[in-house]
Structure 1
Amino acid sequence: MYKTTRYLVSAALISAPVVASAGGFSLNEQSASAMGVANAGAAANPENATTVFFNPAGMSQLEGNNLSFGAAILNIDAELDRPTGSATGAAGAPVDGSSGGDFAPLAVLPNLYMTYEVNDSVDVGFGIHAPYGLSADYDNDFVGRYFADKTELTAIAFTPSIALNDGNGFSMGFGANLIYAEGRLSKFQDYSQNYQQAQASGYGGPAFEEGYFDVEGDDIAMTFTFGLLWEVSDRTQFGLTAQTGTELELEGEATLTNVPVPQIGAGGLNMAFTNLEEDARVPLEIPESISVGARHQLTDSVTLLAGATWAKWSRFVALDIESREQNGAISSGVGAQDKYGRPGMIGHVSENWNDTWQANVGVIWQASPAWAFKAGYAYDQTPVDEHYRTARIPSDDRQWLTLGTQYADAGSGWTVDVAAGVLLFDDVDVDEREYTVDDEPIANAARFQGTYELDAWGASVQVSKQF
C-alpha cells in the first residue's frame, strides 16, 4: 500500500521553536517581569497587568488601572548530530541526506495585558498572548525528510478576566481564554515500497520520484481559568490557579503529490502520476493545569519566590489526521486506513505523552526604590515519552536559568522590565518508526535514528504603566 504521513500540530502567536521552552508545547515567555525569576511564584506575585495570565485573582492587589505590553525572543539551536543520524525507507534502502540544518527558527512572542479597577471589590482585565507554540523547518535534503519537513503553527489567545476581593487579603479570579489556532505540516513522501511492488508486477520503468505531503487547518476553542490569592501577612502570600483543558479540531485540506497510479496497456504495466487532495481534520488536545505559588518578603529589600505547575499532558495520546470526506482521495486511494488500522485515517502518530511538573524558585533584590534585580531557576519535565520521540519534537527535560532587572519611575507610573535566560538540555536520542492506532509497529522498514544537540536562550522586554 502507498505510504501516507505523520503529523504534529501545535500553537503559537508567532510560531515558536519546536523544542518549546516549557513542558509540551506550552510557552513560558509571557512576561519579562516574571521571566526574571523564571516564573517563580507567579501565581502569588502580581507585579503588574501580566497577572491576568498567571493568576487573575492578582488584579485585586494592583492599584488603579494598569497596562503592560512587551515581547520575548526565543532562539533555539537545534540540529541533528549528522554522524549519528540515519534513516531507511519503507522498502529498507538507506536514505541519503544531511543533518537538516538548524531547524528551529527564531521566534518573536508579543503580549499585551490591561486591568481596570471597577470599585474597591471588583477588577476586570484583558490579555492577548501566545500560550502554546511549535515550529520547525528542516532543509529539503534532511535524512529524516520522510518523517518531518516543515511545522508552521500559530495561535493567539484572548483572555477577558475578573477578580473579586473581600477587603481582608483574600481574592478570587476568573478568566476565559478564547484560542484561535492554525497549523501547517509537511513532509516528503517515500514511494520506494510502491516501486518495489510495481517491479514485482512487471513494471520496468524508472524509480518513482519523491512526493510531498502538506496539510493545513485551523479552529477556535475555549478554556477557563480560576485563581485564588491569600495574603497571610504583610510579608507572605500564597496563590493558586487552575486551567481547564480542551480539544482543538484543526480542519483544513491535505494534499499529496506525485502519487503513482498503475495503468495496464498494450505494452504491460505503466505508471501515471497524479496529485491528490482531501478535506482533513486533526484533533489536538490542550491539557488541564494547576499552578501554586508563594511569595515571602525575607527583608525589606529581599523577596523569595517559589512555585510549581502540574499539567495533564497524558491527554495527548496520539495525533491523528482524519478524513472529512466519504471515501476521500488520500484516505481511500493510498491505503491509509489499512496501514493505520482504522477507517477514514490519513495519518497517525503515536505520542503517549505523560503528565508533567515544573518547579521554580526565584529572588528579587530591591536595591533602591527605583531599581530591582532578579534571578530565577526552573526545572521543567518533558511530557514526551522517550520511546515515541519524533524528529518533529526531539524533546527532553530542561533547566531554565534567568536574570532580570526592573526600573520603576514612581512619579510617572512607568516601569520597564528586561530579562534574559538560558535553557540547558542534555543530548536527545530519537528512534522513530511508524505505528498503528494500537501502537503496533507497522510492517515496513521506515525508520529514523539520531542524536540531537540542543541549546537555547531567550530575552524579553516589557513596559508597564499604572494610571
Structure 2
Amino acid sequence: MKKTTIARLLPAALLALGSGAASAAGFQLLEQNASGIGNAYAGSAAVAENASTIFFNPAGMTQLQAREVSLGISAVRPSFEFKNKGSVGGALSGNGDDAGDWGAIPNAYLSWALNKDVYVGLGISGPFGLVTDYDGPWVGGAQSVSFEIKTVNVNPSLAWRVNDKVSLGFGVNWQRMEAQYERFVGIAPGALSASTAELDVDGDAWGWNVGALFTLSPSTKVGVSYRSKVDHKLKGDIKVSGPSALLNAAGSSDSDVDVELPDTFIVSTTQKLSDRWEMLGDLSWTGWSSIKKVDIERTSGPFNGQIAQTLHTEFKDTWRVALGANYLLNDAWKLKFGIAYDQTPVKDKERRLVSLPDNDRTWFSAGAQWKVSKTNTLDVGASYLYVPKTKIDNDQRSPDPRVNRGRVTGEYDSSVWILGAQYSMAF
C-alpha cells in the first residue's frame, strides 16, 4: 500500500488553494497581496503597510507592529478570444472560444518582532501561474488545448533595523511547481482521432531574496529588493491516449522538464505630499531571458533520451513602471489609485505561443483601505488591464505527421480583471 505522508500532503494542499491566472506579463503573478491592487503595486518595496512586505521587501517588517498577520485573496479573470486569419490546422478547426477563466490567488503572512530591531516572518503565496483552456477541437489544438502552471512559495524571512534610516532584510524560498499541458497528436486531413498527449510534471526548488529600506526623511522612503532565479527540474510523465494502441504505447513515457524561473529587481518610493496625499512609484525588472526554450525530454520507453517537444519561447527581459496615489479621506478610510505599464517577454508574433498569448498591458487600478480598529485593517482593490490586439503567427508545420502541429495565424482580443481583499491584524 502506498503511504501518504505530511510532506506530500502539504504542497498539494497549498497548491489546491488556488490556480493563478496570469495577470502580470508572462506568467508572473503580482498579486502577492491584495492591498497593493488599488495602487497597481506602485511602491511595492517601500510601502510596508502590513506583513505582506515579506514578499516584496522583507526589510519592511521593521516598520510593523510587534506581531502582525495578513491574509488575502485575489480573483483574476483574463480573457483570450482568438480570431482566425489563415491558420493551417488540417482536420482541426474552430476558434476555441475564450481560453481564459477565473483564477484565485491566496496569500498568508506572519511577522514577529524578536526585539525592537530584529524581526522574523513567514510568507506563503504563489508568484507564478497560468491557465489557458480552449474549448473543442480548435484550429490550434495540435499546439495546445490546455496549459496550466501552479506555484506555491514558502518564504521564511529576517529583518534587521540597522538604525533609524536603514533596514535590511533576507529570505529563503522553497518553491513548489506543477505544470499540465495537453494537445492533440497529428493534424493530417482526415486523420483527426481522439488521440491526445498530456504532460504532467512537478518538482520543488530553492531560491532567496534580499531587500533594503531607506527612510530618507519622515515623508520619504525608498525600498529596493531582489528575488533570485529558481531553477526547477520537474519530473513526471507523458500520456498518449486514443484509438491506436501502438501510438499510445510509443508516445507514452516518463519525462523531465527544466525551467529556470526569472529573477526580479524592484526599486520603489513613497512620498507624503501633505497630511492627506501620498504619492508612490515603482520600477521593476524581470529577467525572463532565463527561459530561452523549454525541452520536454523522454526518460523511459522506446524513445528514452529524446526530446518529445520543444517550446520555443525565446523570452526577453522586461520592465514595469507604476505610479500610485493615496488620499486619506478621514481617520478610518484611505482611497487608493494607480496606473502601470507592463512589458511582455514575448518578442514577436512568430514566437508567441497559443498557450501564452501574452502582450504588453496597461493597468488602471483603484481601491480603499478601512481601518476597522487600531489593530485591524481591511483593504479592497480592483484593476482593469488593457491589452492591445495581439497578433500571432506560430508556424509549427512539418512533413512528418507525427510532429506536424500546424500554423496558427490570427489575433487575440484580450483583457484582464482583478479583484482582491486583504485583512491585516496586529496582536
| CA shift digits 1:41-71 (9 cap, x unpaired) | 1111100111011100000011211011010
- Give the superposition deviation at 1:215: 0.9
The 1-side partners of 2:185 and 2:92 are apart by: 14
Task: Tell me the amino acid that sits aligned with residue 230 of structure 1.
Answer: F
| SS of structure 2 residue aligned to 1:232 | strand
The residue number in structure 2 matching 1:319 is 294
The residue number in structure 1 matching 2:12 is none
The residue number in structure 1 matching 2:67 is 65
Kept after mapping to 2: 8 A contact 1:38/1:401: yes
Q: Residues 247, 97 of structure 1: CA spacing in aligned structure 2 closer, same or farther, 3 A cutoff?
A: same
Specify the structure having the higher radius of gyration (Cα): 1
The residue number in structure 2 matching 1:408 is 371
The 2-side partners of 1:422 and 1:252 are apart by: 36
Q: 1:21 aligned to 20, 23, 27, which one?
A: 23
Task: Tell me the amino acid that sits aligned with residue 313 of structure 2.
Answer: E
The residue number in structure 2 matching 1:202 is none
| CA shift digits 1:283-339 (9 cap, x unpaired) | 1121111100011111111111001111111111001101223xx33x36xxxxxxx
Kept after mapping to 2: 8 A contact 1:85/1:143: no
2:346 equivalent to 1:350:
no
| CA shift digits 1:391-434 (9 cap, x unpaired) | 111111000110010011344x1100010010000011111123
> Please, what is the CA RMSD of the aligned residues?
2.2
- Give the superposition deviation at 1:143: 1.3
The 1-side partners of 2:277 and 2:285 are apart by: 28
- Give the superposition deviation at 1:259: 7.9
Q: Residues 131, 444 of structure 1: CA spacing in aligned structure 2 closer, same or farther, 3 A cutoff?
A: closer
Q: Residues 100, 166 of structure 1: CA spacing in aligned structure 2 closer, same or farther, 3 A cutoff?
A: same
Task: Tell me the amino acid that sits aligned with residue 205 of structure 2.
Answer: A
Task: Tell me the amino acid that sits aligned with residue 389 of structure 2.
Answer: D
The 2-side partners of 1:451 and 1:12 are apart by: 33
- Give the superposition deviation at 1:208: 6.5
- Give the superposition deviation at 1:140: 2.4
Aligned residues: 408
The 2-side partners of 1:75 and 1:444 are apart by: 32
| CA shift digits 1:160-198 (9 cap, x unpaired) | 1010012322100001111111111100111629xxxxx
Kept after mapping to 1: 8 A contact 2:142/2:187: no
- Give the superposition deviation at 1:260: 5.8
2:255 equivalent to 1:280:
yes
The 1-side partners of 2:57 and 2:192 are apart by: 56
Gaps of 5+ in 1: 1-10, 90-94, 194-205, 262-271, 333-342, 437-441
Q: Residues 13, 383 of structure 1: CA spacing in aligned structure 2 closer, same or farther, 3 A cutoff?
A: farther
The residue number in structure 2 matching 1:269 is none
Q: Residues 137, 417 of structure 1: CA spacing in aligned structure 2 closer, same or farther, 3 A cutoff?
A: same
Task: Tell me the amino acid that sits aligned with residue 339 of structure 2.
Answer: Y
| SS of structure 2 residue aligned to 1:462 | strand
Q: Residues 78, 448 of structure 1: CA spacing in aligned structure 2 closer, same or farther, 3 A cutoff?
A: same
- Give the superposition deviation at 1:445: 8.1
Kept after mapping to 1: 8 A contact 2:129/2:148: no
The 1-side partners of 2:70 and 2:358 are apart by: 32
The residue number in structure 1 matching 2:202 is 218
- Give the superposition deviation at 1:13: 6.1
The 1-side partners of 2:372 and 2:180 are apart by: 44
| CA shift digits 1:360-402 (9 cap, x unpaired) | 0000111111110010011000001213001111111000110
2:413 equivalent to 1:461:
no
Q: Residues 320, 13 of structure 1: CA spacing in aligned structure 2 closer, same or farther, 3 A cutoff?
A: farther
The residue number in structure 2 matching 1:242 is 226
Kept after mapping to 2: 8 A contact 1:85/1:451: no
| SS of structure 2 residue aligned to 1:60 | helix
The 2-side partners of 1:358 and 1:219 are apart by: 29
The residue number in structure 1 matching 2:99 is 103
Q: Residues 182, 61 of structure 1: CA spacing in aligned structure 2 closer, same or farther, 3 A cutoff?
A: same
- Give the superposition deviation at 1:246: 2.0
| SS of structure 2 residue aligned to 1:44 | coil
Provide TM-score, normalisation by structure 2: 0.91
- Give the superposition deviation at 1:273: 5.4
Q: Percent identity?
A: 32
The 1-side partners of 2:373 and 2:264 are apart by: 36
- Give the superposition deviation at 1:85: 5.9
Task: Tell me the amino acid that sits aligned with residue 198 of structure 2.
Answer: D
Provide TM-score, normalisation by structure 1: 0.83
Kept after mapping to 1: 8 A contact 2:25/2:358: no
Kept after mapping to 1: 8 A contact 2:92/2:192: no
The 2-side partners of 1:353 and 1:32 are apart by: 28
Kept after mapping to 2: 8 A contact 1:348/1:435: no
Gaps of 5+ in 2: 1-14
The residue number in structure 2 matching 1:118 is 114
- Give the superposition deviation at 1:23: 2.4
| SS of structure 1 residue aligned to 2:45 | helix
The 2-side partners of 1:311 and 1:12 are apart by: 27
Q: Where do residues 293-304 of structure 1 align in structure 2 (5 Å cutoff)?
A: 293-304=268-279
The 2-side partners of 1:16 and 1:282 are apart by: 20
| SS of structure 2 residue aligned to 1:53 | helix
2:330 equivalent to 1:368:
yes
The 2-side partners of 1:142 and 1:323 are apart by: 27
Kept after mapping to 2: 8 A contact 1:131/1:157: yes
Q: Residues 207, 22 of structure 1: CA spacing in aligned structure 2 closer, same or farther, 3 A cutoff?
A: closer
Kept after mapping to 2: 8 A contact 1:16/1:105: no
- Give the superposition deviation at 1:444: 6.1
| SS of structure 1 residue aligned to 2:36 | helix
